Structure 1
């Protein structure tokens, strides 16, 4: 399938390389407001067309799908342009700023006979599937701690007085929507929607969260998600059950899964080696849905996006974190 890209950052390059590795997608077009940036990306990966006009790209017949990795606040408007022009849309996480945008975009996709996907790489990997298939080994789950704490080099700029996109309410930034979605997707993918969620953030002068603790309440256990872009941590992800504990080095990528028996304390490795370019797995699953029209799988992914976005939206509501797009 021929596809184009919106955005010229490192994540776009990572997706292109994964798409090429999947042998399911062919890069044919690149968009950027800056023609030189578009040309550099196109030359690097062999795209035949560059665009500086989004509407022109959306109307073009050189692409069937688009991958959007622009600043978060631009996702909705850009996705709608492509959906209305009957192009499939793969939108980098976080897919949109709020659920109103999400539902509007899903309706546009349905009306135009195309698909809308959120690109969330850890959910499609072999190791996530292994974890989900084996989570019963832990017995009754009693707690989970899922951190994603990674110091951002852009925080240095913030401390110098600048406001980079990821720390800016204008661009729908913040730690929870940028990093917290990885462990949040992990939790929702394994346990479903929580009964209640509560967020306790460190709010920066820009009005968004630099770090925070998200508490998800399930019937018989609590899942605690820690996220930060202003500090660093070496703690691992753990799921604690009465019969055993799962230990994962990271929420994304899930490179290693260890199961530790509660009684014998013996441990065994459940994970398998994965492609270094782990976005290849989401490329393959998306391609499979587009090829077969697997509506059941598509609806599952849609529901996960709705749950995750609803939780992050509620977390912001609780703490009066308002994006400019919502004012």
Structure 2
């Protein structure tokens, strides 16, 4: 069983720990936080854990893998340090702010013979393989994937504050936070697009509140929607020469219904877990235990395609992060 350490004490970290324990592949052993009070509050649910506020001591502790769920802009530097310490790293999405950072993480992981993963949960859903199989005999004409959810931090933003999720210094915004899910859906099903565009409603800092983009492939394009100042209930759709496949969402897919051009309706049998993070937790543990470099590399290839695409979209919308000026 893998000894798990965590960085970040928010709700998403609790969710990952729950999934990690359910997978039976990990045992939470240590918590790092700059605040001892926060570390103690987080640890209450899990019994006797080692708590760290000193970064060097945490990296030197007896851990196999560290899950990183700090603010976006901190992911790269923390993951690089974790890998250099000889530990595997699971980095919450987005794992990096720029494609250059991802290249560095891949090289660092290879140098220290450890694995690094992006916790992009929808990329690991079995539904995508079922959908790919269904689409094999069909010509893709296009698709729509969207994810928009009103942020709990909107009241702070409207009150004149700048929460991390809306900060250019912390690589925030709708595209990086929620837009990564529809981009992953497109890359998982269709591969890396040839190019991409993105237009958005933006703050003076250039960070996007809501936006719409297009990913261009040979012969079709995919529309991408992302939003943090509103909630969308639209399903996702894939358009083919034989009809339209409607998904309940582009992440945590639970239903897929195909309506053919002649009106016949077919419902696909979709496999899914109630815990949205369980499958990725299982996959990461299996890759680490088996030292499956080939599988981990496949996931990094997909991650690179996603982050190349996100960067192209940000450039089109002129969204600028502090991290764009620092790739070291």
Fold agreement, TM-score > 0.5: yes
Answer with 7-16 or 194-203: which moved more. 194-203
Aligned partner of 1:39 in structure 2 is 40
Partner residue in 2 for 1:60? 61
Query: What TM-score do the two structures reach when normalised by structure 2?
Result: 0.96
Q: Secondary structure at the match of 1:129?
A: helix
Picking from 297, 300, 304, the partner of 2:298 is 300
Partners of 1:5 and 1:67 within 8 A in 2: yes
| Residues 132-281 of structure 1 mapped to structure 2, 5 A cutoff | 132-136=132-136, 139-272=138-271, 274-281=272-279
| Aligned-partner Cα distance in 2 for 1:82–1:4 | 11
Say which SS state the counterpart of residue 170 (structure 1) adopts: coil
User: How big is each residue's C-alpha offset from its partner over 1:232-251, in whole Å with a ceiling of 9 and x where there is no partner?
Assistant: 22211000101122111111
**Corresponding pairs, count:** 324
Q: CA RMSD in A?
A: 1.3
CA gap of 1:124–1:285, structure 2 versus 1, over 3 A, is same
Question: Is contact 2:257–2:265 with CA below 8 Å preserved after alignment?
Answer: no
TM-score (normalised: structure 1): 0.96
Q: Structure 1 residue 133: deviation in Å? A: 2.3
Query: Who is 1:78 aligned against?
Result: 78
What is the SS of the residue equivalent to 1:271? coil
Structure 2 CA distance for aligned equivalents of residues 246 and 55 of structure 1: 50
Local SS of the residue matching 2:257: strand
| Runs (4+) off by over 4 Å | none
The match for 1:3 is 4
Query: For the residues of structure 2 that align with 1:180 and 1:122, how far apart are their CA atoms?
Result: 12
Counterparts of 1:157 and 1:17, CA distance in 2: 29
CA distance in 2, matches of 1:132, 1:5: 34
Q: Once the two structures are superposed, what CA deviation does each residue of 1:18-72 show, in whole Å capped at 9, x if it has no partner?
A: 00110001100011111011112122123520111122111111x1100000000
Comparing 202-211 and 170-179, the one that deviates more: 202-211
Q: Secondary structure at 1:217's aligned position in 2?
A: strand
Shift in Å, 1:293: 2.0
Counterpart contact for 1:258–1:270, Cα < 8 Å:
no
Counterparts in 2 of 1:185 and 1:121: CA distance versus 1, 3 Å: same
Q: CA deviation at 1:292?
A: 1.6
**Is 1:16 paired with 2:17?**
yes
User: In 1, Cα distance between the equivalents of 2:3 and 2:111?
Assistant: 22
Structure 2 unaligned regions, length at least 5: none
User: What SS is found at the alignment partner of 1:297?
Assistant: helix
Quick one: distance in 2 between partners of 1:277 and 1:45?
A: 19
Unpaired segments ≥5 residues, structure 1: none
Match of 2:127 in 1: 127
